[in-house]
A and B are shown apart, each in its own frame.
Chain A
Amino acid sequence: MATLEIRDLHVSVETDGEPTEILRGVDLSIESGQTHAIMGPNGSGKSTLAYSIAGHPKYTITGGTVTLDGEDVLAMSVDERARAGLFLAMQYPVEVPGVTVSNFLRTAKTALDGEAPALRHWVKDVRTAMSDLKMDPAFAERNVNEGFSGGEKKRHEILQMELLKPKFAVLDETDSGLDVDALKIVSDGVNRVRAGGDVGVLLITHYTRILRYVRPDVVHVFVAGRVAETGGPELADELEENGYDRFVQAVAAS
Chain B
Amino acid sequence: MSTPRARRTVISTPDTRQADHEAAAQVADAVDARQEHAVDHAAEAPAAVTLDSSRSPGPGYDTAAARVAEAGEAVLEASRGERPRSFDPSDFPVPTGREEVWRFTPLDRLGGLLEDAPSDEDARDVVVQAPDGVHVGVLGRGEGVRGSALVPEDRAAALADAASPTATHVRVPREVELDEPVHVSVVGRAGRRGAGHLVVEAERHSRAVVVVEHTGGGAHADALEVVVGDGAELTVVSLQLWDDDAVHLSQQEARVGRDARYRHIAVTLGGSVVRLSSTARYAGPGGDAEMLGVYFADSGQHLEHRSFADHAEPRCRSDVRYKGALQGETARTVWIGDVLIRAAAQGTETYELNRNLVLTDGARADSVPNLEIETGDIEGAGHASATGRFDDEQLFYLRSRGIPEEVARRLVVRGFFADVVQRIGVPAVTERVMTAIEAELDLAVGPVAGVAAPADAAAEPALAAAPSSAGAPAGGA
Binding site for B on A (CB under 8 A): 54-57, 77-79, 81-83, 87-88, 90, 93-100, 103-104, 106-108, 110-116, 138, 141-144, 147, 160, 164
Contacts and interface: CB of A to CB of B under 8 A. Distances in A.
Given A79-B403, A97-B416, A98-B416, A116 B469 contact: no
Contact of B403 (A56, A57, A87, A107): A107
A111 B401 contact: yes
B467 interface: yes
B411 A104 contact: yes
B108 interface: no
A153 to B, nearest CB: 11
Most buried by A among B394, B396, B454: B396
- Of all A-B residue pairs in the complex, the 7 with the closest CB atoms, nearest first, are A98-B415, A98-B418, A82-B402, A108-B401, A94-B397, A78-B399, A99-B415
Contacts of B407: 107, 111
A82 B401 contact: yes
26 contacts: A54-B400, A79-B401, A90-B397, A93-B397, A96-B398, A97-B418, A97-B419, A97-B469, A98-B418, A98-B469, A103-B468, A104-B398, A104-B401, A106-B462, A107-B403, A107-B407, A107-B459, A107-B462, A108-B398, A110-B455, A110-B459, A111-B404, A111-B458, A113-B458, A143-B471, A164-B401
Contact of A143 (B415, B458, B462, B463): B415
Nearest to A116: B461
A164 B393 CA distance: 20
Contacts of A81: 400
A94 B463 contact: no
Contacts of A103: 411, 462-463, 465, 467-468
Contact of A97 (B402, B405, B415, B465): B415
B412 interface: yes
B397, B419, B455, B468: most-surrounded residue (chain A CB, <10 A)? B397
Contacts of B391: 94
Contacts of B468: 100, 103, 141
Nearest to B415: A98
B394 A111 contact: no
B470 to A, nearest CB: 4
A100 B399 contact: no
Interface string B448-477: 000000111011011101011111000000
B472 to A, nearest CB: 11
A86 to B, nearest CB: 8
Nearest to B463: A107
Contacts of A97: 415-416, 418-419, 469
Nearest to A92: B393
Given A78-B399, A79-B405, A103-B467, A110 B461 contact: yes
A108 B470 contact: no
Interface residues of B, number: 38
A97 B390 CA distance: 12
A51 to B, nearest CB: 9
A99 B461 contact: no
B183 interface: no
Name, among B402, B455, B469, the residue most crowded by chain A CB atoms within 10 Å (CB to CB). Answer: B402
Contacts of B398: 96, 99, 104, 107-108
B451 to A, nearest CB: 12
A138 B470 CA distance: 9
Given A94-B393, A107-B459, A114-B455, A78 B400 contact: yes
A96 B403 CA distance: 14
Contacts of A100: 467-470
A78 B462 contact: no
Nearest to B422: A98
A98 B414 contact: yes
A113 B463 CA distance: 15
A141 B466 CA distance: 12
Contacts of A54: 396, 400
B402 A83 contact: yes
A147 B403 CA distance: 23
Interface in B373-408: 391-394, 396-405, 407-408
